[in-house]
Amino acid sequence: MHVDHTLSIDDVALQLDWLPAVEGGRATFIARIARAGQTSTVNFEVELAKLSPTQLERLQNFLSRRHLGRTSAPEVVRTVAWLLGISLAQTRPELSVTQRRVTVRTLLLVDACQNHVNKENM
């Protein structure tokens, strides 16, 4: 599944793809982010069996609405950040919550945008 969304808030382009087949109980996602002249591609997996019923329902609702084109760009960004956080918690349990948040911000190029804005304001 492939859909482009561009946010005008800080000029972010985000593409989110996912593999329709679940292998080994894991869903695979590919996020491509362009922000402040930089790009990032992040491939990550979420182990579905480890999600709480609420998390699984949230993911299923999002993917269903996404497939129908009924998600907003800000919602996609929030969901990608949420899924990256879950993926990191599953694959890198030694990371603290703060370390996971910093990693997600880095992967989504949030800090690149902050630096870009700061340079423009100098």
What residue ranges of the chain have pLDDT lower than 50? 2-9, 116-122
pLDDT at 14: 87
CB 18 within 8 A of CB 59: no
pLDDT at 114: 55
pLDDT at 37: 86
pLDDT at 12: 78
pLDDT at 35: 85
CB 11 within 8 A of CB 110: no
Split into its structural domains, the chain has a count of 1
Select from 48, 85, 117 the least CA-distant residue to 77: 85
The gap from C-alpha 119 to its chain's centroid, in whole angstroms, comes to: 26
> Does the predicted model carry a pTM greater than 0.85?
no
pLDDT at 6: 43
Q: Report in angstroms the alpha-carbon separations of 97 from 36, 43, 56, 80, 103.
A: 26, 20, 20, 16, 10
Host domain of residue 52: 2-120
